[in-house]
Amino acid sequence: MKKIALAAVAVLGLGLAACQDNAPDNNVSTENTIETEAAADTNAAIDGTENLGAAADNALDAAGNSLSNAGNAVSDAAADVANGQDNVAGR
């Protein structure tokens, strides 16, 4: 009976030894997850900012092109008027 009791105590002791606290490992895993997600969020924000800058540059280029086209149209219209006057005057 003593052998059975000793064996039972040994088995229970091994069972308790196997049940260790994983909280420190879980905390490290949680910290790594948080850092990874924070890095991903930061990178996404930086990419978004860079894309906004490119979009603003493109919009300014388009506005500049529109103004240039309008200026060219006014110049062409003035040249057409001058040519029309020359034609009326017989030149």
Give the integer Cα–Cα distance in Å for 28 and 65. Answer: 55
Give the integer Cα–Cα distance in Å for 89 and 84. Answer: 9
Q: pTM for this structure?
A: 0.43
DSSP string, 31-88: HHHHHHHHHHHHHHHHHHHHHHHHHHHHHHHHHHHHHHHHHHHHHHHHHHHHHHHHHH
Please give the single-letter amino acid code of residue 20.
Q
Tens of pLDDT along 14-71? 665 556 666 666 677 788 888 888 888 888 888 877 788 888 889 999 999 999 999 9
